[in-house]
Structure 1
């Protein structure tokens, strides 16, 4: 089983590259805890998508730590990585988005895989539930979202963006991207739209379980995207949007797999203290070895 980590962000609100911040008790990166949880649940292939200037460092860093039997691919998300026969002549500095990050791995993944953000902590049970789902659905085209409750994914230091999900039973119906969610008493308010939420809604934290069929869909969307010069200048391709289009076209089913664990992220620099404390506490409780890698 493959775990794909997206680590090509710039950390603009955090103030530095949070993917490489030494948050663990022995200076471990946050992504290393996710990788460890994945390996403990049967994942044996790690794919990391990063920037070109970080590729060698990250490849060296992880190869020194991962067991020898674990396959590792550290790939670069490039602005020049375009579908055959397409081109882009405008000026752009930001990556093409999370869907393009996933598409970057199209030549190294040929089976079911999980996708996560490298700068989020998802909880040990989330990886177990994801692995169980992959084993149960290895030969079909069913995707999944490992879901969290909105109220459990907020920051006390500023607004956050979340994909708010409509769910029926264990079936995902839709994902509505909300970009400025903040606590509002016992509710959650979206500052952009004015919408109010109870906080008990499922949200996407970009922990997806995908099949290789997504690569063809992303490429098709990317071709359409590049044909629109305005989109190509500043917009991005997002995983939830791609999966939702596949879902609405009847190409796939998408199940919601409960995480049954605790999530935290480091959106703002002020989130760092909390992250360090949680990882220290979990390590002292024996949930993680220290050092993490032997």
Structure 2
């Protein structure tokens, strides 16, 4: 069975040489975080990569990574545009904020007809999550709901930054490893053995070992069909905040959970997340990749 890796990269800025965090060189031969994610996905069995980008960065994006990757996997590009809306809708005058991760993934609908995994461009997820989600997509049997998805469940303490607080989707999971609820939570950090955050209710039950979502979802084409219809519903209900309201994957999944229309299997991964949330994180991530190479997790030259 064919499988696709969808990478949300439309948030990357232009002028790549000017210090854009997602394009910072992390590996010994100029590899960026995306290189390692794609390498892990290919190793796990994924056949194709779909890059979701903005049209204005297409040429530079291909120079930095796309042209290299097309030598190893099938590559497609789709473009997220604030004005790419369903018939009957127009972008509110003055809005500049993108519509969010739900619309980003919807942009890929025309080129994705296989099971897929969605990731962020600037997060390092580790090998275990790709293997588990690929196995889920290939071997999964329907669980009786309208939609089935998988989610990489990262251990909260493995996703923190030493340089400041982070935002995470903190999850409640049942005894069958099915997602019950996900709480988008800001201001998360560890103090001693305790998790503190901006939400007192989440702080009351969240633990260092709690599962969190890092926007790494496994799904099937029927979910993309749902997004197409649901995005119109979302746009019909933005009058309370037309300049900033976003169509976000965690919120979409949470609503389907409330409606009892979806099963989301949480596949726990023990790999440590890396990402450049703060400028100070760059050196830490570079050293982390150096250590992974020294430990034999990756070859020094990633793409032969």
**TM-score, with length taken from structure 2:** 0.89
Residue of structure 2 equivalent to 1:129: 132
Tell me whether 1:283 sits opposite 2:285 in the alignment.
no
* Aligned ranges 1:152-171 → 2 under 5 Å: 152-169=158-175, 170-171=177-178
Residue of structure 1 equivalent to 2:91: 88
SS in 1 for 2:217: strand
Alignment counterpart, residue 250 of structure 1, candidates 251, 260, 265: 260
Cα shift at 1:238: 0.9
Counterparts of 2:282 and 2:11, CA distance in 1: 17
Deviations 1:2-49 (A, max 9, x none): 0111112258xxx94222111111111101100000001110110111
Counterparts of 1:223 and 1:159, CA distance in 2: 34
Task: Name which of structure 1's ranges 145-154 and 283-292 shifts more when overlaid on structure 2.
Answer: 283-292
Deviations 1:196-241 (A, max 9, x none): 2322211001111011222233233322332223333112111111
Cα shift at 1:138: 7.2
Tell me whether 1:222 sits opposite 2:231 in the alignment.
yes
Residue of structure 1 equivalent to 2:188: 181
Residue of structure 2 equivalent to 1:25: 28
Alignment counterpart, residue 222 of structure 2, candidates 213, 217, 225: 213
Q: Contact 1:8/1:50 (CA < 8 Å) preserved in 2?
A: yes
* Aligned ranges 1:25-174 → 2 under 5 Å: 25-66=28-69, 68=71, 70-137=73-140, 141-169=147-175, 170-174=177-181
Unaligned runs of 5+ in 2: none
Q: Contact 1:142/1:254 (CA < 8 Å) preserved in 2?
A: yes
Deviations 1:226-271 (A, max 9, x none): 2223333112111111112223323221100112322111111111
Alignment counterpart, residue 281 of structure 2, candidates 259, 271, 274: 271
Counterparts of 1:232 and 1:47, CA distance in 2: 29
Cα shift at 1:164: 0.6
Task: Name which of structure 1's ranges 127-136 and 56-65 shifts more when overlaid on structure 2.
Answer: 56-65
Residue of structure 1 equivalent to 2:269: 259
Counterparts of 1:182 and 1:10, CA distance in 2: 26
**TM-score, with length taken from structure 1:** 0.92
Counterparts of 2:262 and 2:202, CA distance in 1: 29
- Kindly report the root-mean-square deviation, in angstroms, between the aligned alpha carbons of the 2 structures: 2.1
SS in 2 for 1:269: coil
SS in 2 for 1:163: strand
Unaligned runs of 5+ in 1: none
Counterparts of 1:173 and 1:243, CA distance in 2: 10
* Cα distance change on mapping 1:16 and 1:63 into 2, 3 Å: closer
Counterparts of 2:119 and 2:233, CA distance in 1: 26
Cα shift at 1:90: 2.1
Residue of structure 1 equivalent to 2:8: 6
Counterparts of 1:193 and 1:232, CA distance in 2: 28
SS in 1 for 2:243: helix
